[in-house]
Copies of this chain bind each other. A is one copy, B any other.
């Protein structure tokens, strides 16, 4: 008889404003559901419950690739069957590929009797991000597995630091246009001005201090990105207006979620987060662009075994 587990695997916001490639946070919603079974036959199969077309080769699938790595390391004649019910839209910038990768490895680890640490699981899940975007970036998979706000100080070698923070409400809007992660990465300049880099590391230091001091004003002042956002925001219609008006509506600040096109904003309380949602909806309704919005909080647990 096959052993089977169901997990809820959440969306994440990577590239947290001034924390490009190093800082991400875990959301309570949206959330995918994954069923993973441990089988006696070697190999990995991945299928979708809701009609998303997935690559037939599991090595090219964001849930499959990490499990193939895990099985190679284990060296045992076993396999996994994965079924995904997607609620995090692929290409939204809310960590859809990371959710699949992280959910798969957390579930597999549970089925195996938890031989692996969270850091090990991030290491496996990175193979899913490599498949998805060509780059092993950890600022989605780490918060997805650890929960909360996580800093990836370094990726080679992997150095993950959890960052405590006060209660924060997250509002996100997903305008229904496609921004491919690989395209969003390609338009970035390879060199930046030293003075801009200094401003950016002042902001990331301020943001980490703001989170750890529970200083909402400092968090708000530090949510500034002078390097990535000015380039990437051009790919997102309405970005400047959304940001300005959401801040006028009371948001502490925010920016592009991941590589976009979603935009997220942090607020101190739920009424503000709802006012921010209304602002986002009004702007995209006027522009005439289909969109989804989310009002949620920070998920402190990460992938959850059901």
Interface residues of A (CB under 8 A from B): 18-23, 151-154, 159, 161, 163, 188-195, 197-210, 212-213, 218, 221-222, 227
Contacts and interface: CB of A to CB of B under 8 A. Distances in A.
Nearest to A207: B205
Copies in the complex: 2
Contacts of A192: 191-194, 197
Nearest to A197: B197
A16 to B, nearest CB: 10
A153 B208 contact: no
B188 A151 contact: no
Given A190-B194, A194-B189, A204 B206 contact: no
Contacts of A200: 197, 201
Contact of A198 (B21, B159, B206, B212): B21
A152 B202 contact: yes
Contacts of A197: 192, 197, 200-201, 227
7 contacts: A19-B205, A23-B205, A151-B205, A161-B218, A189-B194, A191-B194, A201-B204
Contacts of A221: 153-154, 159
A143 to B, nearest CB: 14
A199 B19 CA distance: 11
A19 B201 contact: yes
A111 to B, nearest CB: 32
Given A191-B193, A212-B212, A201 B18 contact: yes
A227 B208 CA distance: 21
Contacts of A195: 190
A20 B195 CA distance: 10
A224 B227 CA distance: 22
A255 to B, nearest CB: 15
A43 to B, nearest CB: 36
Looking at A22, A189, A190, A193, the one whose CB has the most chain B CB atoms below 10 A away is A22
A195 B192 CA distance: 10
Which 8 pairs, one residue from A and one from B, show the smallest C-beta to C-beta distance? A153-B206, A197-B197, A22-B202, A191-B191, A201-B201, A212-B212, A208-B208, A153-B202
A71 B24 CA distance: 48
Contacts of A152: 202
Nearest to A163: B209
Nearest to A195: B190
A227 B193 CA distance: 12
